[in-house]
Amino acid sequence: MKVLIIDDEPNVREGLKKIIPWEAEGFDICGEGIDGQNGLEKIMILNPDLVLIDIRMPGLMGIEVIEEAKKRGFKGKFIITTGYSDFTYAKRAMGLGVEAYILKPIDEDELIEMIEKIKDKILKEKEITQKLDVSETYVIKSLLTHLLLGSSLSIMEQDKYNELKEKNESYQLLLVDIEEKKETVSLIEEQIKDYLEARLAVKTLIVEKYLLIIIQNKEQGYIDEAIDTLQEKLAKRYQITCKMALDTSLIKIQEIGESYTLVKELLNKKFLYPNERLLTSKRIDMYAKESEQSRIINVEHVSEQIYRLLQVGDMIKIKQVLEELKLQLQSESVRKDKVISVFSNILVKTGTKTIEANQEVGKLLPSGEQIIEVIYHCRDVEDVIEYIEEQLRIIVQEFKVSSPENNMKKIIYYIENNYNKELKLELLAELFNYNSAYLGKSFKNYTGQSFNVYIDQLRINRAKELLRHKEMKVYEIAKAVGYKHIDYFHSKFKKYVGISPLEYKKNCEK
């Protein structure tokens, strides 16, 4: 307990400090007041449990100090020490709830006896207050939990709800997810509560798997600063980053359930926004504004794009493709399961394309089930991309082993392995980092044929092999060598062979 001594005479103050064994009586002297005004300021700053105060002092009289302190909400006890036995002062003092009115010179035993009585009274009041605070805290936490989860309220909770509703105070919700080992979670939660409670008017409770912090009536800038400082301290002390979600709008008690749903949804998107320590609706909306116009994600197209880049060993462009995909998913603010589905499908489909071209190389990739399992347990989208890149690097290394060193030979090698797909000079130029016009001239100089003629002859020669050795229909062969339309295939075949595919097949069977 704390005691404050207020008297304009230094000797009296020193005497009161020495004649009473304050420490033995359970008190610490927290300060001294040298006059009425100074004493009032010390009362309001130090908030002592007991004040010993003189009546007649320069400036404010002792009685006036007591009156003003009571008006300002001070709840501590007073003992008046005075050299005047004026009944009027004593009567006013008693009316203000002063515990004792002791005349100077002070009787040491009388003062000690009075202090012991006041000490007992203070301790009993503290015990009652503590019990009431515990009960009040329990009711409020129970009420908030039921409001957040949409459960029915007890009679006591309903009364407290009506009381809070009538007060019409404003709140903000901060939700914290601590993804750490169980033995450190409770310690970190205490650190967060202690830090914020010392700086903001907050109530904290555990709801579901989260730490919920209800902030009362504070400016947004002050809240943001407190949260930033807290996260820096956690990162420095525990080497962790707690994901937090804040509803920046001011809400009333009756809106708390909706606000909780919002912050929970924000926190569920942490997988997609690993670089955002504090998730807010405004911050996530920024991703949509920063991104290009939303496009439908074509998994087949992306996996084909990655497969082409794999064949030419371009991991830089593969990384760019994956980053662009991440930004698109962020702009659409999709849930974790959608992120997992998109990236898993892309890697699985890329693996399938690799197996179709080279079964031995394709087998180096994990199975579909393994891919989904690993991606599901990734911490965030950055981990997912890192995992996919690791798998694709293995394939790139294998393709490099069988691929020629010379650039033009690499292009020929690529064409021979992809002639049955849609191939254009512009695509090859992009894949191999050429200007398309320059590549066209270089290709003709190297092969003696234009790009289109080279592709056509490669396809037609392959079609001739299939016509000679496979029991396939003509339209199936056309599709197998890269021609979508049977009529176009017929015209090309006749141009280079001189007869139709069917005639060629019949001639071979003779």
Point out the least confidently predicted range of 198-202, 268-272, 368-372, 378-382. 198-202
6 and 108 within one domain: yes
Half-sphere exposure of 173 (CA within 13 A, CB side): 28
Which of 268, 289, 310 is the last residue in one of the domains?
289
- Whether the per-residue pLDDT at 132 is higher than 50: the answer is no
pLDDT at 470: 75
Residue 367: band (very low, low, confident or very high) from pLDDT cuts 50, 70, 90 = confident
Residue 431 lies in a domain: no
pLDDT at 496: 87
- Whether the per-residue pLDDT at 4 is higher than 90: the answer is yes
pLDDT at 86: 65
Residue 414 lies in a domain: no
Range of the domain at 336: 299-403
How many Å is the Cα radius of gyration of the chain?
41
Domain at 48, CATH number: 3.40.50.2300
83 and 9 within one domain: yes
- Whether the per-residue pLDDT at 18 is higher than 70: the answer is yes
- Whether the per-residue pLDDT at 385 is higher than 90: the answer is yes
Please state the rounded mean pLDDT for residues 255-274.
88
Residue 157 lies in a domain: no
CB 148 within 8 A of CB 240: no
265 and 196 within one domain: yes
6 and 115 within one domain: yes
Angle, CA 473 vertex, CA 472 and CA 475 arms, to 5°: 125
Crossing angle between the packed helical segments 315-332 and 299-311, to the nearest 10 degrees: 160
CB 271 within 8 A of CB 339: yes
Residue 155 lies in a domain: no
Please state the rounded mean pLDDT for residues 367-388.
90
pLDDT at 401: 53
Residue 182: band (very low, low, confident or very high) from pLDDT cuts 50, 70, 90 = low
Point out the least confidently predicted range of 43-57, 208-222, 296-310. 208-222
Q: What percent of the chain stands above pLDDT 90?
A: 9
397 and 452 within one domain: no
Provide the whole-model pTM. Answer: 0.53
Domain at 234, CATH number: 3.30.70.270
- Whether the per-residue pLDDT at 134 is higher than 50: the answer is no
pLDDT at 402: 55
206 and 254 within one domain: yes
Point out the least confidently predicted range of 33-47, 93-107, 301-315. 93-107
pLDDT at 395: 82
387 and 318 within one domain: yes
Point out the least confidently predicted range of 232-236, 424-428, 464-468. 232-236
Helix (H) or strand (E) holding 316: helix 315-332
Which of 88, 108, 124 is the last residue in one of the domains?
124
More confident residue, 162 or 363: 162
Residue 342: band (very low, low, confident or very high) from pLDDT cuts 50, 70, 90 = very high
How do the residues of the chain divide into helix, strand and coil, expressed in percent and rounded to 5?
Answer: 65, 10, 25
Length of the chain: 510
Residue 403: band (very low, low, confident or very high) from pLDDT cuts 50, 70, 90 = low
pLDDT at 193: 76
454 and 387 within one domain: no
The total number of structural domains in the chain stands at 4
Residue 151 lies in a domain: no
DSSP letters along 176-237, please?
EE--S-HHHHHHHHHHHHHHHHTTS-EEEEEETTEEEEEEES--HHHHHHHHHHHHHHHHHH
- Whether the per-residue pLDDT at 322 is higher than 90: the answer is yes
pLDDT at 136: 53
Point out the least confidently predicted range of 289-303, 329-343, 381-395, 435-449. 289-303
258 and 191 within one domain: yes
47 and 65 within one domain: yes
Residue 470 lies in a domain: yes
Q: What percent of the chain stands above pLDDT 70?
A: 90
Point out the least confidently predicted range of 248-257, 284-293, 495-504. 284-293
Residue with tokens 């234009």: 450
More confident residue, 287 or 378: 378
Residue 408 lies in a domain: no
Domain at 476, CATH number: 1.10.10.60
Average pLDDT score, the chain: 82
Residue 90: band (very low, low, confident or very high) from pLDDT cuts 50, 70, 90 = low
The two three-digit tokens of residue 461, written as one number: 């020669």
CA 34 – CA 166 distance, rounded (Å): 44
> 26's torsion region: left (phi>0), alpha (psi -120 to 50) or beta?
left
Residue 320 lies in a domain: yes
Please state the rounded mean pLDDT for residues 297-316.
85
Please state the rounded mean pLDDT for residues 90-96.
74
